[in-house]
């Protein structure tokens, strides 16, 4: 068991929820994860995370989505969660290094997505080039609202898994 997980298992419920919140961005998810402790290892933590995430209300998903910066931006304005901002920068590294034309297309796509769906575009950008992210954005613009909500929720689940691993590494 990692030292981070061992300490987290012993924290108060409030402290545990606060500590894990940057991994997802949903306060309900964080509270439910803290309530499910103790966890023996990363595998049991990530399995519980998936189950908890899938059983949240749409409003909880939207709260998690809202905790992210837009693709191509460096941090969520007014965010007080340093770890989450740092992770977002790492996850979007390929986008940050993209050519100007691709960045402009992503910015335009983000605005179009927000007009259509009323929230920012969520994608698990880790390991994806800016053109790949742009193609995903364009494909998902064809979705209806319900389909897109579930695709965004799946992307958030993937992001949470990556962030849980980083969090456990300290």
Q: Which residues are catalytic?
A: 68
Cα four-point dihedral sign 114, 116, 122, 125: negative
**Residues 84, 67 contacting (CB under 8 angstroms):** yes
d(CA 164, CA 168): 6
Cis omega (within 30 of 0) for bond into 66: no
Q: CA angle 71-75-77, nearest 5°?
A: 110
Q: How many CB atoms lie within 10 A of CB 54?
A: 11
Q: What are phi and psi of 49, to 5 degrees?
A: -60, -50
């Amino acid at each position: 068991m990692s030292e981070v997980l061992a300490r987290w298992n012993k924290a108060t419920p409030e402290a545990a929820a606060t500590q894990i919140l940057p991994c997802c961005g949903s306060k309900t998810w964080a509270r439910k994860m803290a309530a499910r402790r103790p966890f023996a290892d990363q595998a049991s933590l990530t399995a519980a995370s998936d189950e908890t995430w899938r059983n949240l209300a749409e409003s909880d998903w939207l709260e998690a989505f809202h905790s992210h910066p837009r693709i191509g931006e460096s941090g969520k304005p007014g965010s007080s969660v340093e770890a989450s901002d740092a992770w977002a920068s790492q996850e979007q590294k390929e986008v940050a290094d993209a050519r100007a034309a691709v960045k402009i297309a992503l910015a335009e796509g983000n605005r179009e997505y927000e007009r259509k769906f009323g929230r920012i575009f969520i994608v698990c950008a880790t390991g994806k080039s800016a053109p790949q992210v742009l193609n995903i954005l364009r494909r998902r613009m064809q979705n209806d609202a319900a389909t897109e909500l579930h695709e965004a929720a799946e992307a958030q689940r993937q992001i949470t898994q990556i962030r849980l691993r980083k969090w456990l590494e300290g």
